[in-house]
Structure 1
């Protein structure tokens, strides 16, 4: 028996993990976007953002593995295959939240005094880091919505 075949109270592990994934992933992506655009927010978030991104980077692959195990049981219908394809597309972007959030955290933690390393940092570095963070956040948000929608359609349309 595979770990991802585990059931709790008659439910497969996948729907249990999905609920954590669909809440934490978009919240982390939104927090990344806010922190990238608003350095004061980044400083206030502190390590919470990179820690949330680490949890997402672990949670999404586990959810995908549990979903693949569930797909083996329910069958790989076209709607299940679409959901799985979108989840696999989401995976690298969800993982990318981690380095992007670490970069934003690192950029935001520097003191703002005139003699700080931040004052010697070229403006383009700040712009590039913010741009990367915004792209990662936006693509992650779009893919998590599309993946969740495809999964919900597979369930509620009676495919699964």
Structure 2
């Protein structure tokens, strides 16, 4: 599905940086777009595009992580990290769908294109209840995806470093 090594290193170690940056960035852009109408007009399609790039990076990273997990001795901490990582795809997909929906609801260009192709959807996009539900879901999902990234990163750091660091330095400092 994607690279498992890059220049002799496990690709997961490199790809995870894209996810750690892009998923929270997409979530923050979505929150800003929902909570600040002036920013939404300026952001335009940037929010759904960032969410799309983050969404693409997640399965590449989890695939390379699964390969790396198979190369390492069985460790319950690594298994916990992998399990949490598998859940990020759902959060990223929801962030992308909500960012796209919010853009489609709030963008005049998108609404015009939508109304000519799908009149029923255009009518729904104008309803306050639909706008409110999408706004609330967007904030909840954006916050949830950021929390999930933190949980995954924390579990990965613990799995990688739990037996590598001691409270006292080996040279006595």
Aligned to 1:5: 4
Shift of 1:102: 0.5
1:44 partnered with 2:42: yes
Give per-residue Cα distances to partners, 1:86-120, cap 9 Å, x unaligned. Answer: 11122111111111110111122128xxxxx89x9
- Structure 2 distance, partners of 1:31, 1:3, is 27
- Structure 2 distance, partners of 1:77, 1:150, is 12
1:141 to 126, 146, 155: 146
Shift of 1:65: 0.4
Aligned to 2:159: 154
- Structure 1 distance, partners of 2:3, 2:163, is 23
Aligned residue pairs, count: 151
Kindly indicate whether the alpha-carbon contact (under 8 Å) linking 2:2 and 2:60 is maintained by their aligned counterparts in 1: no
- Mark the structure with the bigger radius of gyration: 2
Alignment of 1:1-150 (within 5 A): 3-8=2-7, 10-110=8-108, 121-150=126-155
Kindly indicate whether the alpha-carbon contact (under 8 Å) linking 1:56 and 1:95 is maintained by their aligned counterparts in 2: no
Kindly indicate whether the alpha-carbon contact (under 8 Å) linking 1:17 and 1:59 is maintained by their aligned counterparts in 2: yes
Shift of 1:144: 0.6
Structure 1: 5+ residue runs without aligned partners? 112-116
Kindly indicate whether the alpha-carbon contact (under 8 Å) linking 1:21 and 1:56 is maintained by their aligned counterparts in 2: yes
> Looking at both structures, which has the greater relative contact order when contacts are Cα pairs under 8 Å and sequence separation is at least 6?
1
When normalised by structure 2's length, the TM-score is: 0.80
Aligned to 1:114: none
- Structure 1 distance, partners of 2:63, 2:4, is 10
Structure 1 vs Structure 2 CA RMSD = 2.0
Structure 2: 5+ residue runs without aligned partners? 110-121, 165-173
- Structure 1 distance, partners of 2:100, 2:16, is 25
